[in-house]
Amino acid sequence: MSAIAKLNRGKEHFARLRQVIDEYHASTPFSGVCEEEKETGDLVYRVKIMKPVPSEELGLLVGDLIHNLHSALDLRVSELVVANGNKPTREHAFPFSRTALEIQSVAVRCLVGVSPAHTQLIIGLNSYQGGNDLLWELHYLDILDKHRQLIIAGSAQQSVIIDPSAMLRKMQPEWNIPEIPVAIRPAERDFPLVDGTELFRVKKAARTEGVEEKVGFPFEIAYSDGNNTYGEALLPKMEAMVTEVERVLTQLQ
């Protein structure tokens, strides 16, 4: 099995991951429901969940994807050992460490038999926490997936889309004001979303009489390692990892 074969297998898992997520979003599983809060007069938007996130299927796909990408890096090291006229062993692997200080000593253990030029290239990839965080997180998630499934517990609010054009036309009816939707990413967001989670609030004092508020709520599938309560967008991160591993394999030829 070659490093490129493992990478290509990872790409197949990524394509399936994208397909599952696209099909899920196409089913319109979420909506924002607006109601006037009697106590305050505020307009409150809450999420309505009609269909749960397919967490188990997504978790299995992500686990397989991450494992294949990680294996591609390990196999490239073995290929470099062979290219340098040596025989790979079970000790050969792509080096990862928690700190920059440790990467040199880890590389010495993992890269025996690799040419000095390729060894320096690999060390220079900074595959430690705080260096190349994409590579480090790939390693961390691969370990995590071996012991427990990644937490892909639900969706997260991607942004709030507000269109103030109706209010502006109310204030200045003689102006020809087009729709001007503005996307605002919340500084804090609940993850995972549960039915009834508050998404947005328009204070009573900020409401304009006779103007219907235009508010939209894009959602995204997010994941967590159990420590991240914010929830990071799943698909962009997995795509970035595929791209990064492909870049590394190309560099280490």
User: In the predicted model, what is the mean pLDDT of residues 78-100?
Assistant: 94
Residue 162 CB contacts under 8 Å (≥ 6 apart), including other chains = 181, 182, 184, 214, 215
Please give the structure tokens belonging to residue 70.
Answer: 């990680």
125-137 per-position pLDDT tens digit: 999 999 999 999 9
Number of domains present in the structure of the chain:
1
pLDDT at position 97: 93
Residue 21 CB contacts under 8 Å (≥ 6 apart), including other chains = 58, 221, 234, 235
DSSP character string of 104-133: HHHHHHH-TTS-HHHHHHHHTT--BTTSSH
149-178 per-position pLDDT tens digit: 666 655 555 555 555 555 455 555 656 656
198-240 per-position pLDDT tens digit: 887 878 876 666 555 666 777 888 887 766 555 788 999 999 9
**DSSP-derived secondary structure letter, 97:** B
Q: Beta strand 43-49 with 30-36: parallel, antiparallel or unpaired? A: antiparallel
Q: pLDDT grade, residue 45 (50/70/90)?
A: confident
**3-class DSSP state of 26:** helix
* Residue-range definition of the domain harbouring residue 20: 3-251
Residue 228 CB contacts under 8 Å (≥ 6 apart), including other chains = none
